[in-house]
Chains A and B, each alone.
Chain A
Amino acid sequence: MLIRRPPGTLPSEITPRSAYLRRREFCKQAAALGLIAPLLAPSGAGAQSLTAPKLPGKSSPFSTKEKHSSYGDITSYNNFYEFGTDKQEPAIYAPKMRTRPWSIAVEGEVKRKGPIDLEELLKLAPMEERIYRLRCVEAWSMVVPWIGYPLAELVRRVEPSSRAKYVAFTTHLDPATMIGLRQPVLNWPYVEGLRLDEAMHPLTLLAFGLYGEVLPNQNGAPVRIIVPWKYGFKSAKSIVKLTFMETEPRTAWNVAAPHEYGFYSNVNPGVDHPRWSQSSERRIGEDGFFTPKRKTLVFNGYAEQVASLYAGMDLKKLF
Chain B
Amino acid sequence: MRPRATGSAGAGESAPARRARQPRGAQLTAIKSVLFLACLTPFAHLVWGVASDALGANPVEAVTRSLGWWTLFLLCATLSVSPLRRLTGAHWLVRLRRMLGLFAFFYAALHFITFIWLEHWFDIAEMAKDIVKRPFITVGFTAFVLLIPLAATSTDAMQRRLGRSWSRLHRLVYVIGVLGVVHFWWLVKRDVTDPAMFAAAMTLLLGLRLLWTVRDRSSASRAASAGRIV
Tell me, yes or no, whether A binds B: yes
* Residue ranges of A at the interface with B (Cβ–Cβ < 8 Å): 43, 72-73, 76-77, 81, 85, 87-88, 138, 140, 183, 185-186, 256-257, 275-277, 282, 284-285, 288-289, 292-293
B18-62 residues at the A interface, CB under 8 angstroms: 50, 53, 56-61
Q: Let me know if B84 is at the binding interface, CB within 8 A.
A: no
A256 touches B190 (CB 8 A): yes
* 6 closest residue pairs by CB, A with B: A77-B57, A292-B121, A85-B191, A73-B57, A284-B57, A185-B190
A284 touches B58 (CB 8 A): yes
Q: Let me know if B214 is at the binding interface, CB within 8 A.
A: no
A289 touches B190 (CB 8 A): no
B121 touches A293 (CB 8 A): yes
Q: Let me know if B118 is at the binding interface, CB within 8 A.
A: yes
A275 touches B56 (CB 8 A): no
B134-154 residues at the A interface, CB under 8 angstroms: 134-136
Shortest Cβ gap from B164 to chain A (Å): 41
B190 touches A282 (CB 8 A): no
**Residues of the A chain whose Cβ atoms lie less than 8 Å from the Cβ of B53:** 43
The SS class assigned to the A binding surface is loop
Shortest Cβ gap from A189 to chain B (Å): 16
Shortest Cβ gap from A11 to chain B (Å): 40
Closest to A285 in B: B57
A43 touches B60 (CB 8 A): no
**Interface pairs (7), CB distance under 8 Å:** A81-B190, A183-B193, A275-B135, A275-B136, A277-B130, A289-B60, A293-B119
Complex CA gap A7/B59 in Å reads: 45
Complex CA gap A88/B134 in Å reads: 28
A185 touches B57 (CB 8 A): no
B186 touches A185 (CB 8 A): no
A43 touches B57 (CB 8 A): yes
Shortest Cβ gap from B143 to chain A (Å): 17
Q: Can you name 4 extra interface pairs (CB under 8 A) apart from A72-B57, A289-B118?
A: A76-B57, A85-B190, A257-B190, A293-B121
Given contacts A289-B118, A293-B121, contact A138 B57 (CB under 8 A): no
Most buried by B among A72, A73, A76, A292: A292
Shortest Cβ gap from B43 to chain A (Å): 15
**Residues of the A chain whose Cβ atoms lie less than 8 Å from the Cβ of B162:** none
Q: Let me know if B228 is at the binding interface, CB within 8 A.
A: no
Closest to B130 in A: A277
A288 touches B60 (CB 8 A): yes
Closest to B50 in A: A289
A77 touches B58 (CB 8 A): yes
**Residues of the B chain whose Cβ atoms lie less than 8 Å from the Cβ of A183:** 191, 193
Shortest Cβ gap from A318 to chain B (Å): 22
**Residues of the A chain whose Cβ atoms lie less than 8 Å from the Cβ of B50:** 289
**Residues of the B chain whose Cβ atoms lie less than 8 Å from the Cβ of A276:** 134
Complex CA gap A72/B193 in Å reads: 28
**Residues of the B chain whose Cβ atoms lie less than 8 Å from the Cβ of A289:** 50, 59-60, 118
B58 touches A140 (CB 8 A): yes
Most buried by A among B58, B126, B187: B58
**Residues of the B chain whose Cβ atoms lie less than 8 Å from the Cβ of A72:** 57
